[in-house]
Amino acid sequence: MRIKRCASLAAAGALAIGAGAATLPALGQDHAGHDHSAGSSPSAGRRITMEALHAAGGVPPGWRFTLPPGDPAAGRQAFVDLKCYACHAMQGEQFPLKPGETATAGPELTGMGAHHPTEYLVESILNPNAVLVEGPGFIGGDGRSIMPAYADITAAQLVNLIAYLKATSAGSSRHAHDDVREQTAAGYRVRLVYRPPATGEHGQHQHAAGAPPARGRLQVFVTDAASGQIVPYLPVSARIESGGKTAPPVKLAPAIGADGFHYGADLVLPENTGKVTLAIGPASLARQSGAPAQLGRAQTVAFEWK
């Protein structure tokens, strides 16, 4: 039993995988038959000639690594088979330890599928030393991640585990820290993040006596859904609905910080917020031939908040 080796991931919130699991068939074993598992559907890939591929440096312009759709139900079963529950809790799930198994403290995974891009979760599992998170329970005495690398994980297990994390995050209630929503719509991949004001010891918002109440931060990250490239020249505003009323639109200004480029505004999101609707575009810069069509249109992307 190798459960004792299971420890926290290099990325806070990715999952540890026990090595003594039953092996599942790897994806792509039968190339002649394309197997689309339940809950997944084939997506239209990008088309490019070999000449254009070589001219672009070996990958299509704006290329990024993507993972095929997985089966969340199979991912949950893999979570059980690989005994990930011995290290990580998942809100709303109960995975009792079996006789002879030893629990090891690792980060809770509730909501973490929404906090990190798919590629980052994959890297955290396959190459836990790529990013080392400083803090107890992450880095060992040798300066490397405590999370072991598991070379024997199959492609099917990896794809389905990620699908399980993403599906569980989508159905979970608000996370204890940042609120994060993400969806692909109108040709954009839009990630909406609300960072609430800092709270004190008793959960009260911190601000000096006589000073205005502390405000949180609403951030919107917009990328092209096809290429994954950041879209930096868009007018973006947010309409916040709370208590059956809609507040005037809030303009989100372009900004850059530790999280990278985003559109944002400092504000307090009401506790009874029901929906945040973003108005995006059209782009303010000149568009040349071949530019994504959505840049020339005004788009609306709505996020249910409750």
- Condensed to tens digits (0 to 9), the pLDDT of residues 144-181 reads 887 777 668 899 999 999 888 888 765 444 444 567 78
Tell me the HSE value of 289 on the side-chain side, using a 13 A CA sphere.
0
Structure tokens at 303: 């996020």
Q: For residue 132, name the pLDDT band (cuts at 50, 70, 90).
A: confident
Distance CA 2, CA 191 (A): 37
pTM attached to this predicted model: 0.51
Q: Where are the domains of the chain?
A: 1-173, 179-304
Model confidence at 105: pLDDT above 60: yes
pLDDT at residue 199 in the model = 54
pLDDT at residue 37 in the model = 40
Mean pLDDT score, 42-67: 79
pLDDT at residue 237 in the model = 96
Kindly report the average pLDDT of the chain as a whole number: 75
Model confidence at 40: pLDDT above 80: no
CATH architecture under which domain 179-304 falls: Sandwich (2.60)
